[in-house]
Structure 1
Amino acid sequence: MTHREQQHRPEVVVGLVATPPDHPARVAARLTAELAGRLAERVDADVRWTVREGWGEVAPRRDGGVEALLDDAAQRRTDDQWDVAICLTDLPLHTGRVPLVAQSSARRRVAMVSLPALGLQQLRAARAAVPDLVSRLLTDASDQRVTPAGWAPAEMASRVTAIHTVVGETDAAELRYVASRLSGRVRLLAGMVRANRPGRALLGLSKLLVGAFGTAAFALTTNTIWQMGDALGGIRLAVIMLLGLTALVAWLIVAHDLWEKPDHETPPELARLFNLGTILTLTLATAVSYLVLFAGTVLVGALLIDTSVLERTLQRPVDITDYLTLAWITSSLATVGGAIGSGLENEETVRAAAYGYHPAPGGWRDETDG
C-alpha cells in the first residue's frame, strides 16, 4: 500500500490508560507496541489504527468502583481527543459478588479491563480482550469508519478464558464481562499476586535473608541444635517451620504498616482483597526465601560438620537425611531471627509488597518525552 493510500484511510485513535502506573503500565507498554497490528488483523484492515499510551492516577479512586474508572477514562479520552479508550487497572473489582473482568460503555466510548481477574497470563489475555472491546465499542457506537463486529458480546467468553458470561443493558451497550463465582475468585487471587510482583518483594527481603543465613550458620556450630533436630519428628519440625514463616509474615505486616484499613475511600470488601493479596505475596516471597535459606544451610552443614563428628554426637550412624533434618530445624529457627532483622529493611522496598501501595513512577519515562 502506497503512502498516499495509507493517508486516505480513515484513522481511529485508541488510547490505553494504565491506572495506577505500576504493573498495568508495564502491560500497557507491551500491548501498545503490537495493538495496531492486532486491530488491523482482527477488527478492520482498511482503517489506519493509531494507539496512544497514557497513565492514570497513581492512586486511582477506590470508592467509586468501575464507574469512577470509566468516568476518568472518558474524561481522558475527551481531553486527548481519542476515539475510544481502554483502561487497564490492577484494582480487583466485583459486580454482584462475582469478579468483574471487563466493562464497556459505548455511550462514553470507553472500556475497562481488570488485570487481576485475567489470572496469571495477563498479557496474553489482554491481547485477546482489548481488540474485541475496541471492536465492540466502535460497533455499538455506530462508528461508520469500521466494519461492524459480526459477533455477539457473549462470544468473547470463547476467546478470553477468564470471562464466564456477559450481563448488562445490551440495548444501551453497557456491558459487564464477569468471571465465574468459584474459579473466577481463584483466578482473581492468583492475578493479584501476579500484579503485585512477588519477585520485587523477594528482592526487598534480601537483608532479611542475609541475616537469617548468618543466624543459621552460627546455629549449625552448636551440637544442641543437632540433638534437637534428631529428637523432633517430621510433624513437629513442620509445625515449627510454619510458625516461623507465619511469624515472619505477621512481623513484616505489623512492622511496616502494610495492613489496609477500611475507610471512606476504601470499601471493606476492597480492603479485605488488598490485605489478602498482601498476605499471599509476602507468603510466596518468604517461602522462596526459606527454600534458598534451606538449600544454603544444607550446603554449609555438609561443609562444616564432618560425618564422624555428627555420629559421635547423635551416637548412631548418619546419612543425608540427618543433614536435611538439621538444615530444616536450623532454617526454621533462623527465620524467626531474620524477622527481627527485617526491621532494618528499606521501608520503600518492603512497602511495595502491600497490594494497595503504588510508588510514584519515577523509573518510567514521562509521557511528554518523545
Structure 2
Amino acid sequence: MTASDQHRPEIVVGLVATPPDHPALVATRLTAELADRLADQVDADVRWTVRDGWGEVAPRRDGGAEALLDDLAQRRTDERWDVAICLTDLPLHTDRVPLIAQTSTQRRAAMVSLPALGLRQLPTVRAVVPDLVGQLLAGAPGGRRPAPRRTPADLTSRVAAIHRAIGAADAGDVRYVASRVTGRVRLLTGMVRANRPGRALLGLSKLLVGAFGTAAFALTTSTIWQMGDALGGLRLTVIMLLGLTGLVAWLIISHGLWEKPDRHTPAELARMFNLGTILTLALATAVSYVVLFLGTLFAAALLIDASVLEQTLQRPAHTTDYLTLAWIISSLATVGGAIGSGLEDEETVRTAAYGRHPEPSGRHADEER
C-alpha cells in the first residue's frame, strides 16, 4: 500500500456466494478483479477492498429475495462491510417473471440470481455488480457516498435483457427482471449451467460402463442386426427417445431426486428445481448416448466384417448399415445403463438434483470460463 492509498477513504464490499457451489466459482473470479472495476466505474478516489465469503449451503427458500437480503444485511453488519452483494443460484421470481437482481439501499445489500443471466453469467456479473455497488452507496442513508465519475448506470442500459421494476419505495428497493418468455428460456439454460452438467456426466461413469457392456453383448447377436435393418428411422428415433426418457426417469426415481413442495419450498420453486434436474440429467445422458454411439460404431466397424453382415442381411452392406446397427444397439444399451446407474454412489448421483448442493470441503480451485 502506497502513502497515497493510506490517505484515501476505504470502502469495503462484501461478496457472498450462496450456496457455496457454482456461485462460489463466479465469486472467486469476480473478487480478483472487482476492486479495479469499482475504481474504474464508480470512484477512483477511494480505496476499494473486496471481501468474499460463503453463504449457507441450503439458503432459505420460502422468503425469496427478501430472505436473502435480510440474511445478507445481517452478514454485512457482523462483518462491518459498507455494502454487500449476494450471488445465488436460486431461480427467483417476482410477479411470475424471472428476477435477475434486487437492491435495497436501506439494507445496503443487493442480490443477483445467476441462472436468470443465462449462459454468459460471469461476463454479465462483471458488468452489473459495479453498478449495483454504486447505486447502493449513492442511495445509502447516512453512509459514505462516493462521487462517481458518472451517475451509477441503470442495469437496463448495460444489459439489454434486463428490465427495471420498482420495489418497495420505503425500503429503497429496486428490482431488475427479465422478460416473461425469453427470460424463462434464459433462466432454464442458466439453471443447467449453474447445475454443472459435467459433474453429473462424470458422476455417472458406471452407467456408461454398464451400457458399453450391454452394447458389446448385443454386437454379437445377429438378430439385432436383422432388427436394425427392418426398423425405419422413425421407429429407431422413438426407441432412442424412449430409452433416454426411461433412463432419466429411473435416475430421478431410484435416487430420490424429485423435489416436493413443502412449507420450506414453494410449489413454483420446486417446479423450477425439478425442471433444472430433468434438463441437467437429460443433457448428461444425451452426451453419454453420443459417446456410447461412437464407441459402438467403432467396435462394429472393427469386429464385424462386411461379408459377415452381408450374409446375415442377404444383401450388400453399406456404411449406413453400421450406423443403423450402432443406433439400435446404443438405444437398447441405455436400459443396461439404467441397471448400472443403481451401482453409483448415492451422493454422487444426488448432486445432479438442482436443490441439493454438496458440503464444501475447501476453496474451489476450479475456474469458470
TM-score, normalisation: structure 2: 0.96
**In the TM superposition, what is the alpha-carbon distance from 1:171 to its structure 2 partner?**
7.1
Number of the residue aligned with 1:106: 105
**In the TM superposition, what is the alpha-carbon distance from 1:172 to its structure 2 partner?**
4.8
Give, in whole Å, the separation in 2 of the partners of 1:82 and 1:350: 38
Give, in whole Å, the separation in 1 of the partners of 2:247 and 2:88: 30
Number of the residue aligned with 1:132: 131
Give, in whole Å, the separation in 2 of the partners of 1:176 and 1:145: 21
Give, in whole Å, the separation in 1 of the partners of 2:145 and 2:359: 39
Number of the residue aligned with 2:289: 290
Number of the residue aligned with 2:341: 342
Q: Partner of 2:342: helix, strand, or coil?
A: helix
Give, in whole Å, the separation in 1 of the partners of 2:155 and 2:210: 50
The one-letter code of the counterpart of 2:348 is T
Number of the residue aligned with 1:225: 224
- Please tell me whether the aligned partners of residues 243 and 335 of structure 2 are also in contact (alpha carbons under 8 angstroms): yes
Number of the residue aligned with 1:147: 147
**In the TM superposition, what is the alpha-carbon distance from 1:144 to its structure 2 partner?**
4.1
The list of structure 1 runs, each at least 4 consecutive aligned residues, that deviate by more than 2 angstroms after superposition, is 142-145, 148-153, 164-173
| Superimposed CA distance per residue, residues 302-353 of structure 1 (whole angstroms, 9 cap, x where no aligned partner) | 0010000000100111111000000000000000111011000111110000
| Superimposed CA distance per residue, residues 161-187 of structure 1 (whole angstroms, 9 cap, x where no aligned partner) | 431233225675210011111110000
**In the TM superposition, what is the alpha-carbon distance from 1:102 to its structure 2 partner?**
0.2
**In the TM superposition, what is the alpha-carbon distance from 1:159 to its structure 2 partner?**
1.2
The one-letter code of the counterpart of 1:347 is E
**In the TM superposition, what is the alpha-carbon distance from 1:196 to its structure 2 partner?**
0.1
**In the TM superposition, what is the alpha-carbon distance from 1:150 to its structure 2 partner?**
4.0
Number of the residue aligned with 1:329: 328
Larger displacement relative to structure 2 (144-153 or 215-224): 144-153
Larger displacement relative to structure 2 (227-236 or 164-173): 164-173
Number of the residue aligned with 1:70: 69
Q: Partner of 2:179: helix, strand, or coil?
A: coil
Q: Partner of 1:344: helix, strand, or coil?
A: coil
- Please tell me whether the aligned partners of residues 198 and 282 of structure 1 are also in contact (alpha carbons under 8 angstroms): yes
Give, in whole Å, the separation in 2 of the partners of 1:286 and 1:252: 10
Give, in whole Å, the separation in 2 of the partners of 1:102 and 1:179: 10
Give, in whole Å, the separation in 2 of the partners of 1:295 and 1:280: 23
Structure 1 residues 43 and 101, CA gap change in structure 2 (3 angstroms): same
- Please tell me whether the aligned partners of residues 134 and 152 of structure 2 are also in contact (alpha carbons under 8 angstroms): no
The one-letter code of the counterpart of 1:251 is W
Number of the residue aligned with 2:256: 257
The one-letter code of the counterpart of 1:163 is I
Give, in whole Å, the separation in 1 of the partners of 2:227 and 2:80: 70
The one-letter code of the counterpart of 2:204 is L
Give, in whole Å, the separation in 2 of the partners of 1:148 and 1:19: 29
Where do residues 118-197 of structure 1 align in structure 2 (5 Å cutoff)? 118-141=117-140, 143-148=143-148, 150-151=150-151, 155-169=154-168, 172-197=171-196
The one-letter code of the counterpart of 2:212 is F
Unmatched 5+ stretches in structure 1: 366-370
Give, in whole Å, the separation in 1 of the partners of 2:149 and 2:45: 14
Give, in whole Å, the separation in 2 of the partners of 1:196 and 1:47: 37
TM-score, normalisation: structure 1: 0.96
Number of the residue aligned with 2:270: 271
Give, in whole Å, the separation in 2 of the partners of 1:151 and 1:176: 18
CA RMSD, 1 decimal: 1.5
The one-letter code of the counterpart of 1:24 is P
Number of the residue aligned with 1:235: 234
Is 2:39 the counterpart of 1:40? Answer: yes
Give, in whole Å, the separation in 2 of the partners of 1:80 and 1:172: 22
- Please tell me whether the aligned partners of residues 117 and 186 of structure 2 are also in contact (alpha carbons under 8 angstroms): yes
Number of the residue aligned with 2:357: 358
Give, in whole Å, the separation in 1 of the partners of 2:152 and 2:54: 31
Q: Partner of 1:60: helix, strand, or coil?
A: coil
Q: Partner of 1:102: helix, strand, or coil?
A: strand
Give, in whole Å, the separation in 2 of the partners of 1:235 and 1:241: 10
- Please tell me whether the aligned partners of residues 167 and 178 of structure 1 are also in contact (alpha carbons under 8 angstroms): no
Give, in whole Å, the separation in 2 of the partners of 1:129 and 1:189: 21
Number of the residue aligned with 2:6: 7
Q: Partner of 1:61: helix, strand, or coil?
A: coil
The one-letter code of the counterpart of 2:43 is D
Give, in whole Å, the separation in 2 of the partners of 1:139 and 1:170: 16
- Please tell me whether the aligned partners of residues 101 and 162 of structure 1 are also in contact (alpha carbons under 8 angstroms): no
Larger displacement relative to structure 2 (203-212 or 167-176): 167-176
**In the TM superposition, what is the alpha-carbon distance from 1:129 to its structure 2 partner?**
1.0
Give, in whole Å, the separation in 1 of the partners of 2:300 and 2:225: 11
Q: Partner of 2:147: helix, strand, or coil?
A: coil
Q: Partner of 1:187: helix, strand, or coil?
A: helix
The one-letter code of the counterpart of 1:183 is T
**In the TM superposition, what is the alpha-carbon distance from 1:148 to its structure 2 partner?**
4.7
Give, in whole Å, the separation in 1 of the partners of 2:305 and 2:269: 54
The one-letter code of the counterpart of 2:108 is R
